[in-house]
Amino acid sequence: MKLNLKNDIVFKAFFTKKGNEKYLKSFLESLLEESIDDIEVVGEASLKQLTIANKMGRLDIKATINKTKIVNIEIQLCDNKDTKQRTELYGSRLISEQVGRGDKYQELKPVILINILNYNILKLPDYATKSVTVADKHRDYIISEDITYWFIELPKFRKSKPRLANALEGWLALIDDKDGRPK
């Protein structure tokens, strides 16, 4: 039996296994295009449920990089038509759980949410899209990078003629093994 990284159980097990931190670090460095000196992998984590009526969120992979940023990585095979809303909820909860009474907002760690999707949701040509909050009439003016969203759409990646020598494309090719596609 061949294991596939698109299976979320295999994905979580591979990237969160003690001793495999170097693989998650390599993937994140290739996507974020920044050097990571320190990575602390929490693995699967639950978001705080503020009240019984609140929806609970379960993160596939949660990590802290360089002790300064919180990263959440989700892999989704099926489009439940709620990816954008769920991403927004997870991001806001990851920010809000950092603040307690008397804490300073300036000490909040930025949050990076990475969605690896086996479907397309954005009407953009790129397979990897980074989103930050910008001014409406001045798109080059970034208002906030406290929450950064990444959407990696595997169907677009497949059509892009990937170059496996490129680190990110090599990782995505490994994750997007054709045998793992839903039937």
State the CB neighbour count (10 A cutoff) for residue 73: 24
95-115 residue pLDDT tens? 999 999 999 999 999 999 999
- 45: buried, middle or exposed (CB in 10 Å: 19+, 13-18, 0-12)? middle
Domain spans of the chain?
8-180
For residue 179, the model assigns a pLDDT of: 46
How distant, in Å, are the alpha carbons of 31, 39, 82, 119, 149 from that of 73?
12, 14, 16, 16, 10
128-178 residue pLDDT tens? 999 989 999 999 999 998 999 999 999 999 999 888 899 999 999 999 986
Pairing of strands 128-134, 111-117: unpaired
Structure tokens at 51: 């009240």
8-state DSSP, 55: P
Is-contact 31 128, C-beta < 8 A? yes
